[in-house]
Amino acid sequence: ANRVRRGLVLAEGRQIEAQDLGLQLLDPEQQPLGTLEEYKQRAERQALCDVLNRHSDNLSVAAKVLGISRPTFYRLLHKHQIR
């Protein structure tokens, strides 16, 4: 409620802007990436997709390239809902 009142007082026209409410807009490079765990999950998913594309969906080769066992590779595919 206080921010809305502030916006009404500070607005320089008929439209209330983020700055009028005391909010800062971040450009895309300043946006948070999320938690470290979220970042790691996105990177893991991207690595799985990249290796599958590079090796024409050959799961055995893809697992070997990543240095993990086939069962681990299948578990990660399931975890990230790939395939």
Burial class (CB in 10 A: 0-12, 13-18, 19+), 47: middle
The pLDDT value recorded for residue 30 is 67
d(CA 14, CA 9): 11
d(CA 36, CA 40): 6
* pLDDT band, very low/low/confident/very high, at 31 (cuts 50, 70, 90): low
The pLDDT value recorded for residue 21 is 74
Asked whether the predicted pLDDT for residue 66 surpasses 70, the reply is yes
Percent of the chain topping pLDDT 70: 80
Average pLDDT, the chain: 85
pTM: 0.60
What the chain holds in terms of domains, given with CATH numbers, is 34-83 (1.10.10)
The pLDDT value recorded for residue 73 is 97
Q: Is 45 helix (H, G, I), strand (E, B) or coil?
A: helix
